Amino acid sequence: MALHIVDSFFDAVLLLQPDIYSDERGFFLEQYRSDYLEHYGISEKIVQENHSGSVKNVIRGMHFQWDKPMGKLLRVIRGSIQLVEVDIRYNSPTLGKYCSMKISDENRQMVWIPPGFANGFAALSDFVEVQYLCTALWNPQAESAIAWNDTDIAIPWEIDSPIVSHKDSIAQTLNQWLQKPESRLFSI
């Protein structure tokens, strides 16, 4: 198989490494193969692809969507990020815990992020481009975010002067999210 699990977090988030075929001409890798993902229990259909660009010190997140719940297969195609996933599944033993990893165009790793995780990243290089293959169409009426600086979660971001959008600057805390009936849609 040309796709391998490097690490897993919360029995859900998977850090994946594709085989990379390199020679003097460059490289080749298979970014997406449904049969390889199905081997690891990921059978959701991909229905949308997103591509973002960010300057250094931008934090995007911590985003999620509950209707339809969105899973993401994420990779960095330019630059380097600190990727953070927060478990927001209301009955999870790891509720409110996070995992953090460095993903870059050099390591060419991918991350499977199932529904039930708030997703965010900090741009570590001068410019970053991130691609997401998504399992649901974007629904702005059923998306939300957890504050990137929620003190109860206490994510140690690897940047000094964060740049955040207005939407992310007013995001709710995890505790505020858990008071909403929609939070019960994410469970294990």
Rounding to the nearest 10 degrees, give the CA dihedral for residues 151, 152, 153, 155: 20
pLDDT on residue 133: 96
Q: What is the pLDDT of residue 157?
A: 98
**What are 107-139's pLDDT values in tens digits?**
999 999 999 999 999 999 999 999 999 999 999
pLDDT of residue 48: 95
Catalytic site residue from 4, 51, 132, 166: 132
Pairwise CA distance, residues 103 & 18, whole Å: 13
User: Which domains are assigned to the chain?
Assistant: 3-185 (2.60.120.10)
Q: What is the pTM of this model?
A: 0.93
Residue 63 known to be catalytic:
yes
Identify the active-site residue in 63, 90, 98, 166: 63
Spatial neighbors of 154 by CB under 8 A, at least 6 apart, are none
Q: Is 166 known to be catalytic?
A: no
Could you write out the DSSP letters of every residue in 4-28? EEEEEETTTEEEEEE--EEETTEEE
Tell me the pLDDT tens digit for each residue of 144-160.
999 999 999 999 999 99
Query: What's the pLDDT score for residue 38?
Result: 87
